[in-house]
Amino acid sequence: MKRIDVLKKGIVLAVTACLLSGCSGNTATGTSATAPETTEGSEKETSATEMAGEKKILHAGSSAGMFGATNLDPAVDWNGWFLSFAGIAETLFKLDDAYNAVPTLVESYEEPTDGVTWVFHLRDDVYFSNGEKMTAQSVVDCFNRTLGINNRSESTLNVASMSADGQDLTLVTPFEDPTFIYSLCDPLLTVYYVGESEDYENASHCTGPFVIEQFTPEVEMVLTKNENYWGGDVKIDEAHLITFGDDDAMVMAMQNGELDICDGTSSAVLVCNESTGYNVLSIDTSRAEKIMFNYNDSDFANDGAIREAIAWSVDREGYETISNGTKRANWGIYPATLTYGDNSKLDIHIKEQNLEKAAEVLDDAGYVDTDGDGIREMNGTPISLVMAVTDNASTDFCDVLASDLRSVGIEMRTESYLNLDSFETYNGVNWDMSLSGKYMTPTGNASYFFDQDVVTDGSANYGGYSNPEIDKLADELHKTFGEEKRNELVFKMEQILLDDNSFIVYCNGTNTYITSDRVSGYKPCPSNYYYLDANVDLD
């Protein structure tokens, strides 16, 4: 039996054990204070929708901290993300399923003729939840307040000046920025009402389809429909967003009919699937899992033949299988949902796992096993690689890769660390390659991944990769307006990485949600910025 089949069988047995014990419909154990008590013996058909007359009340669950705002001030910490996710707050632009920035609170806009001056004409029919009209000045006031509070805002909204004239908002950037409207999709820049007597921590007034009725941090958010919502009829009257301490408790609540929607990114939650009467809705995201190489200190990582052999050895499709579809195999750089993630525009050399090809590459490079221990040598030194990972990395992936590499004559051992997310945490670590998870383009801007991970001295280029051609193209990308021209540059950079196996992107994550058959109008989004909207309904 193949190794990947053994692992898959083990996961199936584990899920079955979960169903026979913690997920069987008995009262939940081990939940946090956030988990509601379940009713022993309740049937799945019992509706989670509490009908008070014609009132529709939706219950949603997550065990992944998706409802975990610290308070209701959009300018503080990551609260803007949580408020956007819950459908409370909105941004001037919004990402569609292809990560294109589309106007939301903006009716029309003009790209700069001078390269720096952007003029946005705002919608005239948008009101905050307190009834005050959204104007260009209210947006300037909001942005100025956020810029003064959140230390991430200056890098997110890079502006030299802001001015307002009625519904016309003018933002001037300090340099040419073709991707400026993508920055305006960032939930840090949610639009909210600024006033002298506002209690932002407890009741910020935004423009989304829902408003906060009750809020207990990391426990529950209770939302009601925004009667002043500009975007049409809000279908449900109330929503309870409940945080669970673990997947088992959330699965049990779903099976007992106490939830209408739950987060399904954990494979354990997928026991609630189509065959058991639920809907599984999934969409690929830009979150990639990739292998990064240590070009600073590793002779092995700097060898093209060894990197190519590793690329041939990664079982991407097997990893997708054992993840129960919560990961999607990728042979390129970006996911196919993006306009610049179309692999048909690239010459992809490696399209399958092929251990024979991996061995052939090493043979051609002259790396042979001279002492019969099963490990090839490079210049007399056994090819023994250290894979640095964080404590939450997939041991399944590492175990399978180590076994497959061993079969072609490369030794790999894994060393685990609490954090590997900065130059400081990598300092002193002995590593040849490392597993790294990253949203490649959180706001749709293709420059994001290259600027951070790839260009020389990038802010997250922990392995020290450097390629003058990539640097030149990345700089050109910053100055190029027009999607088609920008995509051409991105494809060139992707091709360089693929040709040299500089980084190995082996999968993308998915946003997966489980819904009961009572839910309609719900649609997952790839960007992970949006969750509830006005279209969600209960039958």
Co-location of 355 and 486 in the same domain? yes
Number of domains in the chain: 3
Domain that holds residue 113: 79-201
Does the pLDDT at position 3 exceed 60?
no
CATH number at residue 88: 3.40.190.10
Calpha distance 291→293 (Å, rounded): 7
Provide the pLDDT for residue 506.
96
Instruction: Tell me, yes or no, whether 465 lies in a domain.
Output: yes
Indicate the pLDDT class of residue 263, thresholds 50, 70 and 90: confident
Calpha distance 193→10 (Å, rounded): 52
Percent over 70 (pLDDT), the chain? 90
Structure-token pair, residue 347: 């010459």
The tally of CA atoms less than 13 A away on the side-chain side of residue 27 is 3
Instruction: Tell me, yes or no, whether 448 lies in a domain.
Output: yes
Does the pLDDT at position 92 exceed 90?
yes
Task: Estimate to the nearest angstrom the gap between the alpha carbon of 79 and the chain centroid.
Answer: 16
Instruction: Tell me, yes or no, whether 206 lies in a domain.
Output: no
Tokens 């003729």 belong to which residue? 113
Residues 6+ apart with CB under 8 A from 143: 157, 159, 162, 189
CA angle 380, 381, 385 (to 5 degrees): 155
Co-location of 352 and 239 in the same domain? no
Q: Answer yes or no: are the C-beta atoms of 293 and 308 closer than 8 Å.
A: no
Tell which of 155, 176, 201 closes a domain.
Answer: 201
Taking CA atoms, 163 is separated from 143, 147, 168, 199, in Å, by 11, 15, 8, 26
Tokens 């502006």 belong to which residue? 159
Does the pLDDT at position 2 exceed 80?
no
Calpha distance 240→259 (Å, rounded): 9
Taking CA atoms, 409 is separated from 92, 163, 306, 319, 368, in Å, by 54, 64, 11, 22, 8
Name the nearest CA neighbour of 336 among 511, 526, 101. 526
Task: Estimate to the nearest angstrom the gap between the alpha carbon of 215 and the chain centroid.
Answer: 25
Co-location of 119 and 189 in the same domain? yes
Calpha distance 522→533 (Å, rounded): 8
Q: For residue 108, give the H/E element and its range.
A: strand 106-110
Calpha distance 257→47 (Å, rounded): 6
**Type of residue numbered 197:** S
Tokens 């061993």 belong to which residue? 406
CA angle 272, 274, 278 (to 5 degrees): 55
Instruction: Quote the DSSP letter at residue 27.
Output: P
Instruction: Tell me, yes or no, whether 170 lies in a domain.
Output: yes
Tokens 């956030």 belong to which residue? 34
Concatenate the DSSP letters of all residues of 133-169 into one string. Answer: BP-HHHHHHHHHHHHHH-TTHHHHS--SEEEEETTEE
Instruction: Tell me, yes or no, whether 257 lies in a domain.
Output: yes
Calpha distance 131→202 (Å, rounded): 17
Co-location of 29 and 85 in the same domain? no
Tell which of 152, 169, 201 closes a domain.
Answer: 201
Calpha distance 332→351 (Å, rounded): 9
pLDDT in tens, 221-249: 999 999 989 999 999 999 999 999 888 99
Co-location of 251 and 324 in the same domain? no
Using the Cα atoms of residue 335, residue 243, residue 45 and residue 324 in order, give the sign of their dihedral.
Answer: positive
Instruction: Tell me, yes or no, whether 207 lies in a domain.
Output: no
Co-location of 305 and 411 in the same domain? yes
pLDDT winner (highest mean) among 13-22, 27-36, 362-371: 362-371
Co-location of 131 and 194 in the same domain? yes
Co-location of 47 and 189 in the same domain? no
Calpha distance 266→480 (Å, rounded): 40
Provide the pLDDT for residue 39.
38
pLDDT in tens, 372-428: 999 999 999 999 999 999 987 778 899 999 999 999 999 999 999 999 999 999 998
Q: Answer yes or no: are the C-beta atoms of 269 and 289 closer than 8 Å.
A: no
CATH number at residue 294: 3.10.105.10
Beta bridge partners of 101: 95
Calpha distance 127→185 (Å, rounded): 19
pLDDT in tens, 166-185: 999 999 999 999 999 999 99
Calpha distance 102→527 (Å, rounded): 13
* 16-20, 434-438, 515-519, range with the lowest pLDDT: 16-20
Tell which of 166, 201, 236 closes a domain.
Answer: 201
Co-location of 266 and 329 in the same domain? no
pTM attached to this predicted model: 0.83
Task: Estimate to the nearest angstrom the gap between the alpha carbon of 528 and the chain centroid.
Answer: 6
Indicate the pLDDT class of residue 271, thresholds 50, 70 and 90: confident
Instruction: Tell me, yes or no, whether 351 lies in a domain.
Output: yes
Does the pLDDT at position 28 exceed 90?
no
Task: Estimate to the nearest angstrom the gap between the alpha carbon of 128 and the chain centroid.
Answer: 28
Q: For residue 286, give the H/E element and its range.
A: strand 279-293
Co-location of 21 and 60 in the same domain? yes
Instruction: Tell me, yes or no, whether 499 lies in a domain.
Output: yes
Co-location of 298 and 267 in the same domain? no
Co-location of 57 and 142 in the same domain? no
Provide the pLDDT for residue 53.
56
